[in-house]
Structure 1
Amino acid sequence: MTRARFLDLAFRVTVFLKGLDGVLELVGGALLLFLTPERIHAIVRLLTQHELSEDPTDPVAGWLLHWSHQVTGSATLFGAFYLIVHGLVKVVLVWAVLRDRLWAYPWMLGFLVVFIGWQGYELARHFSWGLFALTVFDVLIVALTVREYRVQLRKRADRAEGGAAVTPAS
């Protein structure tokens, strides 16, 4: 496999995964619209019950249970709104980028750069390996998207020089 082919495949896979993340955010946001804080706490209690019976000091299960006590109605509404909007933006941009829509590449890059900045700020405040891994993944997607955008622009320029019409919506 050539380097260019590998980078094309890596681009498609990472962007697809970002789109899948967007779909999961949409589902999570929709679920939050229908769950009361009491129901969220009951679900978390059910999911952590086995782990806490084996290890009452389990930090993850303990944190989840503590977090579920803090959830309010306005927090679930905000969370639902945030996840739905964020997920929808991701899904639309990923769909457009995977369909080689040139307008979507700068939007995708801007979207990712804003979130990388926010993630960097959060990492500086409270380091977490999960957020660090997500940030590295997003930086990789940015690098691959910049490369793919340049490839798409070159293809369009080559076609235009060859006499093929380039549509503005592409």
Structure 2
Amino acid sequence: MRLGAPGTALGRFLHWLFEASLILKGLFALAETLSGLALWGLPGNAVFNIAQWITRRELSEDPKDAIASALLNAAQHFSIQTQSFYGFYFTSHGALKLIVVILLMRGILWAYPGAIALLFGFVAYQLYVWSLHHDISMLLLTLLDLVVIALTWREWTVRHGRAWWHR
């Protein structure tokens, strides 16, 4: 038996890590889907009204507060079209990930390569966004997705019977 084989302590840990990553991905996907639905359901000026309500007290105490001012400024430029786009994007992106997580949790064999392909698509898009804005969160999200891809590949090879340690 080799390092990382299913019966070893490392193999059991990697399986547990895969299942834990699915739970986390599922929770994030559910939150993303619900956020998208909320954006779709909000009236056009609700984002600005919420930002105004959140920042009102802080700006009354310190009119030059940088964070409160930036939040209010961003909300002022958050158009109905932008709200609709993000509502659609978050709902569809989250729902797609949620479906994949459910399929993987049920152990459906074709879902493993499908999830890997989908995650590589997300990685490509996140790297594109990073190239435009150099937002470190995109790199962290990409790193997380690459770990999940590796864990999903390992889990698929174990379930599919073509594990590298059997060669």
In the alignment of these two chains, the number of paired residues is 154
Cα distance, 1:39 vs. partner?
A: 1.0
Q: Does the Cα contact within 8 Å between 1:51 and 1:58 map onto a contact in 2?
A: no
Between the aligned partners of 1:109 and 1:51, the Cα distance in structure 2 is: 45
> Any idea what the Cα deviations from partners look like across 1:8-44, whole Å, max 9, x if unmatched?
1111111211111111111111111221231111112
Match of 2:165 in 1: none
Out of 53, 62, 66, the position equivalent to 1:58 is: 66
Cα distance, 1:51 vs. partner?
A: 5.2
Cα distance, 1:88 vs. partner?
A: 1.1
**TM-score, normalized by length of structure 2?**
0.82
Correspondence list, 1:136-151, <5 A: 136-151=143-158
RMSD: 2.0
Out of 1, 6, 21, the position equivalent to 1:14 is: 21
Cα distance, 1:47 vs. partner?
A: 2.7
Match of 1:32 in 2: 39
Q: Assess, with a 3 A threshold, how the Cα gap between structure 1 residues 14 and 56 changes in structure 2: closer, same or farther.
A: farther
Q: Does the Cα contact within 8 Å between 1:41 and 1:69 map onto a contact in 2?
A: yes
Between the aligned partners of 2:56 and 2:20, the Cα distance in structure 1 is: 36
Out of 40, 51, 55, the position equivalent to 1:44 is: 51
Q: Does the Cα contact within 8 Å between 1:41 and 1:65 map onto a contact in 2?
A: yes
Q: Does the Cα contact within 8 Å between 1:37 and 1:68 map onto a contact in 2?
A: no
**TM-score, normalized by length of structure 1?**
0.81
Match of 1:163 in 2: none
Percent identical across equivalent pairs? 30
What are structure 2's unaligned runs of at least 5 residues? 1-7, 163-167
What are structure 1's unaligned runs of at least 5 residues? 156-170
Between the aligned partners of 1:100 and 1:55, the Cα distance in structure 2 is: 55
Cα distance, 1:154 vs. partner?
A: 1.1
- Residue 103 (structure 1) aligned with residue 110 (structure 2): yes
Greater CA drift, 29-38 or 86-95: 29-38
Between the aligned partners of 2:117 and 2:57, the Cα distance in structure 1 is: 43
Greater CA drift, 43-52 or 134-143: 43-52
Cα distance, 1:93 vs. partner?
A: 0.5
Between the aligned partners of 1:82 and 1:96, the Cα distance in structure 2 is: 21
